[in-house]
Structure 1
Amino acid sequence: MATPGGHAIATTNEVIESAVIRAPLSHVWHFLKLAEFHKFWSAMSQAEVIKGTSPETDVFRWTFKDGSVVEVKQDEYSTLDHFITYSVINSEPNLSYSSAVSTIRCWAVTSGEFEDSTFVRWTSKFSSDADVGVVEDAKYKRRDALKDLADAAARMVKEHAD
């Protein structure tokens, strides 16, 4: 379906990507602080706090290697339940949609083939004005970031084993 302006309307405004990362929860969770995403996400060149007095209220600037800059606000952070929720509040260049809220949640895998691994789910909910291209782009960016997170956690496992 297309809007009067000719843009395809997304059939869903949510992206859900997940992965089993072969590293303990503590190694994966270590990277999931908004000011440290650049330490695992290869698309990002820098992450920095730009305002706030505590991690619960801070706003972060993410600079990506393609030159785009996104400001995100931490909405929730739970070290007990291992999740972080953040929303995009500003972007250069401007976004083609009104809003996006994302949550990354981790669970320890405690038995079976993937014991001592971590299950990670990254969801992003976009405003209704996000088109199909936005949703598809987010899907592949999340997949790439989860692969990068797995690689970073694997390096940490190796460092702790040496």
Structure 2
Amino acid sequence: MSIPTSTSVVESAVIKAPLSAVWHHIKLQNFSDFWSALKSSEFVKGTSDETDVVKWTFTDGTELEVKQEEHSTINHYITYSIITSKPELTYSSVLSTIRLYAVTSGEAEGSTYIEWTGNFSSDADAGVIQDAKFKRRDALADLAKAAAKLKH
């Protein structure tokens, strides 16, 4: 019996670095530069010029091909989907967005608020959602460390 679950996940953080230092890392092909769960992230050869597809190889051997669906340098967000997976995904699809905002006042002034969402197809189970939640948390912690190095 499957457990009813939300099919979306939202993780967020305040990173103590200016938006420019964090945004610098938000390119699908550069995620392995900060995310310790990734062994590599590189453009897939042979795709059309109009489509950005990046292969993420995780340290556990999982391989995902992710396609950039939207990218805005003005509004500081990127949206991507998973188009192939080895091993195969246990769900049909997921659309993820990473969005950044400059914190302009208060105690965290000069920092960056980042939100990483994932909207899964209805066949994703609770285990998938929990895994996505913790992967995002770990990645955001890794990103905070990488951005702090760039800050100075």
Normalized against structure 2, the TM-score is what? 0.96
Match of 1:30 in 2: 24
Match of 2:105 in 1: 111
CA distance in 2, matches of 1:21, 1:58: 27
Contact 1:18 / 1:122 at 8 angstroms: preserved in 2?
A: yes
> Cα offset for 1:41?
0.5
Contact 1:35 / 1:49 at 8 angstroms: preserved in 2?
A: yes
> Cα offset for 1:104?
0.2
Structure 1 residue matching 2:101: 3-state secondary structure: strand
> Cα offset for 1:58?
1.0
Match of 1:85 in 2: 79
| Aligned 1:1-162 pairs, distance under 5 A | 6-10=1-5, 12-50=6-44, 51-54=47-50, 57-157=51-151, 160=152
Structure 2 residue matching 1:136: 3-state secondary structure: helix
CA distance in 1, matches of 2:142, 2:90: 26
Structure 1 residue matching 2:139: 3-state secondary structure: helix
Q: In structure 2, list runs of 5 or more residues that go unmatched.
A: none
- Residue identity over aligned pairs, in percent, reads 58
Report which of the two structures shows the higher radius of gyration computed on alpha carbons. Answer: 1
CA distance in 2, matches of 1:92, 1:23: 35
Q: CA RMSD in A?
A: 0.9
In the alignment of these two chains, the number of paired residues is 150
Runs of 4+ in 1 over 4 A off after TM superposition: none
Aligned-partner residue type, residue 53 of structure 1? D
